Amino acid sequence: MQNTPETIVIYDAEYWSDEGCMARGWNGLKDHPPYLIQFSAIKVKLEKGLPEVDRCNIFLQPVDVFGNNIDLTKYFTDLTHITQDILDENAQEIPEALSEIKNFVGEDLCYSYGGDEREISLSCFLWQQDTPLNPQLCRDVRKMLHTAGMSEEDLKANTSGSLANFFGLPFDGHIHDATADSLSILLTFRHFVETEKMSLSDFI
């Protein structure tokens, strides 16, 4: 019988992108891979109210396989509000950033909207670094919300950051900022637990 964890981690991430990248599968002639740029997570207690325990917000300067810095696109900055100045001031060295993510997550179950661990693993592979997330401990928020009654159409029409607004929850964060997006997921989880659409046992 699986032991009930004391804490879980809810996270979101932002990746290098340009206009049309998603439709092209990041495979256009001028596209770079979806390198990890921002990782933000909230650690919460798995108890009534899902109280917050800790947060982390980590920036990385994307580099190609030769170690050359990759410029942010106007599309990415307009979407996320992450500028080069923000990275210049806050970005950590890649090994240090990945180590901090791993230490924050520990052995907790991790929840993201759509399986971000795959994209993070791709960045780590290209950077020749170990991934900080254990795929066996990662869960897809969409599948949980679908089991709890959210339609597939509504799941496709939303992102992690738009969930809170979709359910009319108090939220004024900028969608596509990983910090705000992870909070949007947490608010939605709390709403589903409070309305008894989900129970704490669903997180195990």
pLDDT of residue 2: 55
pLDDT by residue for the chain (204 residues), tens only, comes to: 356 789 999 999 999 999 999 999 999 999 999 999 999 999 999 999 999 999 999 999 999 999 999 999 999 999 999 999 999 999 999 999 999 999 999 999 999 999 899 999 999 999 999 999 999 999 999 999 999 999 999 999 999 999 999 999 999 999 999 999 999 999 999 999 999 999 999 998
Whole-number Å distance between alpha carbons of 186 and 7 = 13
Instruction: Match 């942010």 to its residue by tokens.
Output: 72
Q: Which two tokens stand for residue 84?
A: 């080069």
Q: What is the pLDDT of residue 1?
A: 39
Phi then psi dihedrals of residue 186, to 5 deg: -60, -45
pTM, entire model: 0.95
Cα angle at 38 between 114 and 92, to 5 degrees?
145
Nearest alpha carbon to residue 183 among 57, 90, 65, 75: 57
Which residues have CB under 8 Å from 109's CB, separation 6+? 5, 8, 9, 137, 138, 139, 203, 204
8 Å CB contact between 163 and 185: yes
Residue 3 confidence (pLDDT): 66
In the chain, which ranges are continuous DSSP H helix?
21-24, 74-80, 84-90, 94-105, 117-126, 141-147, 152-157, 163-166, 178-194
- Predicted confidence at residue 54, as pLDDT, reads 97
First to last CA, the chain: 11
CA-based nearest residue to 5, from 41, 44, 32, 35: 44
